[in-house]
Amino acid sequence: MPAVDPQGSAPFTMGPALLFCPADRPERFGKAAARSDAVILDLEDAVAPDAKQLARGAILALVASEGQAAELDPSRTIVRVNAAGSEDFAKDLHCLAHTPYRTVMLAKAESAEQVRALGDYRVIALCETAKGILNAAEIAAEANVVALMWGAEDLIASMGGTSSRNNDGGYRAVAVHSRSTVLLAAKAHGKEAIDAVYVDIPDLDGLAAEAADAVASGFGAKACIHPNQVAAVRGAYAPSDEALGEARELLDAAAAAGTGVFQHKGKMVDGPILRHAEATLRRAGVHH
């Protein structure tokens, strides 16, 4: 398959709900793609070590079958590969060279050199180790990196911890710091940021609250591990009619005021507040 030019490629626009699917479960590929905004075929943690070759074979078999291949649009498909330098990583790349899939998620990304070696691919760098978090800014600066994602559970495990969350369900301080670090690094370099998965699958209310915080903070997407989570994430990213109305009203008031700073409903409004309103309209696909 011909390589793409990642440096000339469009920004990452998949989202807001990205759904992981084990790459050794080809019967789920089409369903996962249909139920999400983009599917992540997972060759890493979701696949047992003795099933990884089977998983790569499933992706190649998919490509060989025209009917099945049509179910996975390359523009909406991400392949999570194993950590750079591992034997499985090399085998993953050999597999992908024979496919049309050119957006990869690099598990346990830790350095700019690692993503630079993936020059033929658009890379989502998954920062989920202490080294990866500390190097997030230099990773985000690489031309072929289109997004950063962070991973709470692998991060805590890599440091010898036992849980990323407190008893009340909120993240521990180190996880909050890591989440913020990845978000800031991505945005500082004009790249998208993807929020980590929510592992408590039945707790859709908790997921909705966390996804709402991701939206408000600036994350462009959130990863899901179960199809039932997609609706909650999409709901968080879709502005309510009330929010859209308030954004339009504020921007109309700004146009009427014709000044840099003005009062609206007793509150001071300036440039950043107006950009918040514009972002709300953009999420709904509305131009003011």
Binding residues for substrate, by number, are 80, 128
Beta strands 262-264 and 103-106 are unpaired
Beta strands 221-224 and 192-195 are parallel
Cα distance between residue 219 and residue 214, in whole Å: 5
Give the CA count within 13 Å in the CB-facing half-sphere of 47.
Answer: 28
Q: How far from 43 is each of 40, 107, 123, 249, 252, CA to CA, in Å?
A: 9, 10, 15, 47, 49
Tokens encoding 258 = 């014709």
Q: CB within 8 A of 12, min separation 6: which ones?
A: 103, 122, 124, 146, 147, 191, 192, 220
Cα distance between residue 237 and residue 224, in whole Å: 14
Q: Are 123 and 148 in contact (CB under 8 A)?
A: no
Binding residues, by number, are 80, 128, 154
Name the residue among 25, 19, 75 with its Cα closest to residue 225: 19
Q: CB within 8 A of 170, min separation 6: which ones?
A: none
Q: Are 274 and 250 in contact (CB under 8 A)?
A: yes
Binding residues for Mg(2+), by number, are 128, 154
